[in-house]
Structure 1
Amino acid sequence: MKKLINAPDDVIEEALTGMELAHSDILKVHRNPNFITRSSKTRKGKVAVISGGGSGHEPLHGGFVGLGMLDAACPGAVFTSPTPDQMEEATKAVDGGAGVLHIVKNYSGDVMNFEMAADLCGEAGISVESVIIDDDVAVKDSLYTEGRRGVGCTVFAEKIAGAAAERGDDLKKTAEFCRRVNEVGRSMGMALTSCTVPSAGKPTFEIGADEIEMGVGIHGEPGRERMKQKTAHEYVQMMGEAVVSDIPYKNGDELIVLLNGMGGTPLMELYLLYNEFEQFCKAKGLKIVRRLVGNYITSLEMQGFSISAVKADEKLLALWDAPVHTAGLRWGI
């Protein structure tokens, strides 16, 4: 194993310290239990938005804490759900009196622990709404889920719900926008290689030098099919078809798109893949009106990519375009 670390047991603590030092104007790291909040307190009367999950997917989630997006994020161990006490303390820390929205990726540990935290916060008098993201079209059930996995559309949900809360929408309305993103958002990913969890010291899965995993999960979970290598054009055709046909999107629909790297894919290749997907959408009569290309929800150093798309409307576009200032996403400031 080759990693730029000191000791596997210290990776999360040291990374959180570095993150706070690098972005002290935006965020603050709290310890025992670990959670990340904005550097400033929640505005009184503002709905707070929280998410979280296992570390190793950076910039998700801590990199999206800041103006116009998340109020707090809970980092678990690598690829491991945060604990209920992390979520409870984060919720209490950012409650501004208008309630708190929990955005939860559909993994069994995340769902269970966020539910426990919501119950505890409810007993303390804090109103909590939870929205589960399950946008992955690759497989119905996986190693860690009942139903579809929550993946790339989590970024859309955090941005759009965060913008709604920032402008003053109430808890019910903010949650409705989040659910809307999940209803009209779909994703799929693939991997050329596995990744190595520091504490494990070996690849999460074995794959041949000439093989790829189609439909892989962000923790290295198996996908739809193990197959021989193909061209970028062929990958995009397969994944694009799976994504746009699921709802389905229709001729004339406008999309917000994320062409996402899994952590180890060069930006040059991601732009090449985005070009392929743009051409794919044009052939389908779909118009990409907003896009992100880069590493936004990763799987450590895995080589691969994912495609996420949300059907846009005037309301969702206004929230997407609203100002955001986080470590991982910023515009309009």
Structure 2
Amino acid sequence: MKKFMNTAETMVAESVEGFVRAHETFVVFGTERKCVRRRHLTSGKVGLISGGGAGHEPMHIGFVGQGMLDAACVGHIFTSPTPSQIIAAIEEADTGAGCLLLVKNYDGDLMNFEMAIEMAGDHHSLDMIVVSDDIETSRSGEGRGRRGVAGTLIVEKILGAAAEGGMPLAELKQLGEGLNTRIRSMGVALNGVTVPQTERTTFSLEPDEMEMGVGIHGEPGHYTQPFAAANAIIMRLCETIIADIAVTPGARALLFVNGLGGTPPAELYLAYAGARRFIEEKAIPIERSLVGTYVTSLDMQGLSVTLALLTDEEIALWDAPVATAALRWP
């Protein structure tokens, strides 16, 4: 295994240090480097906190900044941050209006974020949203159901804009829970993930195979099938997503094609063209788009398609200004 690293044990700490130093306009380390937070916090605004294992960059630290997250915690590769890290982020981000914790639906993340809320709840007003946009795991009957994957970015952006506008904690939670029911994602991969600590790939495929329904921790999908042309792959992803989301008349859709770490932009844009064509043939107009590598699984050669059905209010919140290392507009 060849990677640009010194040791597997120090890789995450050195990577996060490089990130903070490269983007010091937006972020600083929190106390004892337990979290990364916005350089300039807004007093009296609800703090938005997220986090997870390393290996998904730029999520979540890349989304810390104006109009999005106030703090993010990074665990070891594919490992949840500890409760002490999350509590430190709460202490940093709570400027008087409490904090909303945005958590991807994985057992380790849920356990540690829930523990942090229990430990810090006497001193802070806290609540939590569990993001669960992944399609395939809901069919397995295993664990807690749908995983939180690329759709987490959409939740963080829209709630970040709402919090920036002064929305209180209870209303933010209500907005996020409603939004979460209208976002679906599905991924495909052409190879497994090479994890530095183990120097092994998480799953292996023959040259003529692909894995459908993969997760962002290098988990294998729910079935392996023969490799196919891009249009056939994207059609399968979109068919599965549309069959699992309630499309109502007048729906306003956001289409997000995300690279999982090892897929070049040219292939992502090709996939976007196919996905948009297929979805619009189903009479679902695409009003907003995002294409790029935002929610990764280390070096996985793969991509995911996310469809979000948004209200007029949510479209306006998506369009609101954002200034982070990984996402910036206007």
**TM-score w.r.t. structure 1 length?**
0.96
Residue equivalent to 2:284: 286
Q: Which amino acid aligns with 2:153?
A: V
User: Within 1, Cα distance between the matches of 2:274 and 2:329?
Assistant: 26
User: Within 1, Cα distance between the matches of 2:89 and 2:138?
Assistant: 31
User: Within 2, Cα distance between the matches of 1:145 and 1:70?
Assistant: 28
* Contact 2:34–2:88 under 8 Å retained in 1: no
User: Within 2, Cα distance between the matches of 1:50 and 1:227?
Assistant: 38
Q: Deviations over 1:186-209 (max 9, x none)?
A: 110010011111111121111111
Q: Deviations over 1:41-60 (max 9, x none)?
A: x3221100000001100110
Residue equivalent to 2:271: 273
User: Within 2, Cα distance between the matches of 1:262 and 1:276?
Assistant: 18
Structure 2's unaligned 5+ residue stretches are none
Q: Deviations over 1:140-173 (max 9, x none)?
A: 2779942111111100010011111001010011
User: Within 2, Cα distance between the matches of 1:55 and 1:187?
Assistant: 21
Secondary structure of the equivalent of 2:195?
A: coil
Q: Deviations over 1:248-275 (max 9, x none)?
A: 2246422112100001001000000000
Secondary structure of the equivalent of 2:137?
A: coil
1:8 equivalent in alignment to 2:26: no
TM-aligned CA deviation for residue 34 of structure 1: 2.3
* Contact 2:234–2:274 under 8 Å retained in 1: yes
Matches within 5 A, 1:134-213: 134-140=132-138, 145-213=143-211
Q: Which amino acid aligns with 2:95?
A: G
Q: What do you get for the CA RMSD once the two structures are aligned?
A: 1.5
Q: Which amino acid aligns with 1:260?
A: N
TM-aligned CA deviation for residue 32 of structure 1: 3.9
Identify which of 302, 305, 308 aligns with 2:303. 305
User: Within 1, Cα distance between the matches of 2:161 and 2:119?
Assistant: 26
Identify which of 238, 249, 266 aligns with 1:240. 238
* Contact 1:106–1:149 under 8 Å retained in 2: yes
TM-aligned CA deviation for residue 176 of structure 1: 1.6
User: Within 2, Cα distance between the matches of 1:12 and 1:32?
Assistant: 15
Residue equivalent to 1:83: 82
The sequence identity of aligned pairs, in percent, is: 45
User: Within 2, Cα distance between the matches of 1:30 and 1:312?
Assistant: 34
User: Within 1, Cα distance between the matches of 2:64 and 2:185?
Assistant: 23
Query: Aligned pair in 2 of structure 1 residues 259, 221: CA closer, same or farther (>3 Å)?
Result: same
* Contact 1:51–1:70 under 8 Å retained in 2: yes
* Contact 1:50–1:73 under 8 Å retained in 2: yes
* Contact 1:142–1:149 under 8 Å retained in 2: no
Q: Deviations over 1:298-319 (max 9, x none)?
A: 0011001001111021100111
Query: Aligned pair in 2 of structure 1 residues 98, 30: CA closer, same or farther (>3 Å)?
Result: closer
**TM-score w.r.t. structure 2 length?**
0.97
Q: Number of aligned pairs? A: 330
Q: Which runs of 4+ in 1 moved over 3 A?
A: 30-33, 141-145
* Contact 1:191–1:305 under 8 Å retained in 2: yes
Q: Which amino acid aligns with 1:75?
A: V
Residue equivalent to 1:59: 58
User: Within 1, Cα distance between the matches of 2:138 and 2:192?
Assistant: 21
* Contact 2:192–2:220 under 8 Å retained in 1: no
1:127 equivalent in alignment to 2:125: yes
TM-aligned CA deviation for residue 119 of structure 1: 1.0
